[in-house]
Amino acid sequence: MKRKVFKSLMSKLLVVACALTMCVSTPSLTAQAAETTLLNTYGSSYGYSGTCINLYQLRDANQLAFLKKHYNSITLENEMKPDALLGGSARLISVSQAKNQGYYIPDNYRESYVPQINFSTVDEVMKICYNNGLKMRAHTLVWHSQTPSWFFRSNYAGYGGFVNQQVMDARLEMYVKTVMNHVYLNQYGSVVYAWDVANEILHAENSGWEAVYGNNKVNATYVKKAFNYAYQTLEYFKLQDSVKLFYNDYNTYMEVNDVIKLVNYINQGKKVCAGVGMQSHLGTNFPSVDYYTNALNSFLRAGFEVQITELDISNKGDYDMANYAYNLFKNINKAKKNGGKITGVTWWGLSDKTTWVKNQAPLLFSVPGSPKQSYNKVIQAYTEVLGQPSNPQPQPTNPQPTQPSGQNVNNNSTANIANGWYYLKNTNSQKYLTVADDKAAAATNVVISKGTGVQGQKWYVENKGNGYITLKSGLGEFMLDVANGADEDGANLQIYTAYGHDAQQFIVKNTKKSGVYTIGTKVSNAVRYVDVYEHKKTDGSNVCQWLYYGNPNQEWIFEPVNNQSASQSQINPQPQSKPQPAEQPAATGLKAEASINSWGGGYTASIKISNNTGKTVNGWTLKLKKSEVKMDSSWNVNVKESGEYYVITPVDWNSSIADGGNVEFGFNGSGNVSSNLYMDVQ
């Protein structure tokens, strides 16, 4: 009885003590908990705090909000792997169609057809990432698994024999460069900061790659070629210093020497592979923390950049996982503190609710928003080694860059250039802003050249009402554009599909000379200006953006196209009429035409919508009967089903059609297709 009374008394005293403790301590603990996240600890020190995700989760506002609290990087679980882009069976299009759709076709490509690549999911994911301040690891280009067998066979047929190495080299280059080009030509492609170019080569068995190239794993020629193709693409877009290429594999702690041999082989002659993605599907029973850490340190000593990828920890319970995770991250953080180039940690899933590991709970959250003991121990491991997070104030999703200190500032007034067609003459060279080779294609460079009056020298000024203008090319639906929206000196000026976002907006400033102007870029917050590289004066000299200093190679004259006296000796163009201001969608005068390429069991349809309304059309809708087509996938449009119809609407960049202009999109279908499609376009 006394024992029970004593226990009761102690319980009451503990309650009082706990209540007092809560009164004193809870506010600071709550504040600390609110401030400490994976994002402002690991994301801050390592650069990227990542998670694996699927499109359906990104579409969920609650999951997206939770993701943004802890992560600034995502990796698609399966939706960027080769089978997701290529499909279970080949959907072939002609080489000419492929080129029209922006595919990269190398000179040694000798086949008549190319497999259709479906980018719809990737495009939507990049847009979501861009709009929410997230970055993206692209996973993966070359993999023995989840790559359809037909990709390696004659005529892209599942029953065909394997092609030879020469044919496969061309296919590999086509695929790698087409996928990467598509990403970096996309208005949201700047979110992709890293690529797993090759995945799990050391574990490939009976793959199409081995059937074509043999099974030499640490000297795999196709892997070296893939990295070289990928690096060439980065060089083309001038991204080789900001985007990294990785070799990604599992059980790397068991194959340290082979991983190092393979990466060194890839980098023979030129360093194109930044380092290793250490897939970390771990278990508390294996590997030991020391075994894993030894591998990590070996890669760092070899001079590799390391990103920890696909991390989950199988366990016997949360206490078991928490203990393992704490010791693991103590070691990882020590390696980072000692100068190890570890640039990201990616957990393979938002929570145990969506893990791929069966009958386990291998992640830090049981469900989104419910941290486990393991989460607390991972944070503790950080703070004990690297200190408390600095808790910076939240930044805007896409903040404008701040002006670097110590530079010249353009305090001149903003000029008012009336809407209309102009030639832009550089005062230093007395030559004109020109689309290289007068080529009407997205991502074509802009240079200076002698005035000839070609369409590639004509620019339509349209005031946006916010102090900025757009400059539309005379070559069609393209605008002057800062490549990849980069805020850096030397970023190329090019033309790109007209959508009028920040990379395509410019501000014109007066100078002390009447009629002479400088042109600032919106992506730099008017810190950088349209500039002829290295003050050059010869035809073909590149045009880029550079910090403002107001020298003549940054000065431009707007010569109206219909003003013959402005530069009669060099330019003698035909007068151009101003485009009509944008109008509301027209109900008539739009025409839809279909081009069908059928094969056994399916077809590819290319649809062209032409505008003959007499005015610019902003927005259009096309209806197709579901009884006549069966759409499996589409590109450059949004598709919904309504009753007996597919209702097709444009994406941002192709919603506007100038009078006399047209836009194109396409879709893949299965079964038979009507020779006379019903198409209602408004």
Q: Please list the active-site residues.
A: 200, 310
* Rounded Cα gap, residues 105 and 269, in angstroms: 25
Read off the tokens for 244.
Answer: 């990294």
* Rounded Cα gap, residues 479 and 356, in angstroms: 44
- Tallying the residues shown for the chain, one arrives at 682
Q: How far is CA 31 from the centre of its chain?
A: 35
* Rounded Cα gap, residues 496 and 484, in angstroms: 10
* Rounded Cα gap, residues 510 and 387, in angstroms: 50
* Rounded Cα gap, residues 425 and 229, in angstroms: 37
Count the Cβ atoms, other than its own, within 10 Å of residue 167: 17
Would you list the DSSP string of 541-566?
Answer: -BEEEEE----GGG-EEEEETT-TTS
* Rounded Cα gap, residues 553 and 534, in angstroms: 8
Contact 603, 634 (CB under 8 A): no
* Rounded Cα gap, residues 682 and 676, in angstroms: 19
Cα–Cα distances in Å, from 199 out to 276, 316, 453, 507? Answer: 10, 29, 51, 45
H-state helical runs in 338-413: 373-386
Nearest to residue 665, comparing CAs of 186, 100, 113? 100
Count the Cβ atoms, other than its own, within 10 Å of residue 435: 26
Q: What angle do CA 544, 549, 553 make, to 5 degrees?
A: 50
Q: How far is CA 419 from the centre of its chain?
A: 33
Question: Which helix (H) or strand (E) element contains residue 447?
Answer: strand 444-449
435 Ramachandran zone, left/alpha/beta (phi>0; psi -120 to 50) = beta
* Rounded Cα gap, residues 131 and 466, in angstroms: 21
* End-to-end Cα distance, the chain: 88
Beta bridge partners of 52: 75
* Rounded Cα gap, residues 95 and 445, in angstroms: 24
Would you list the DSSP string of 180-193?
Answer: HHHHHHSTTGGGEE
Question: Which helix (H) or strand (E) element contains residue 423?
Answer: strand 420-426
- Residue type, position 674, single letter: S
Nearest to residue 200, comparing CAs of 166, 161, 157, 250? 250
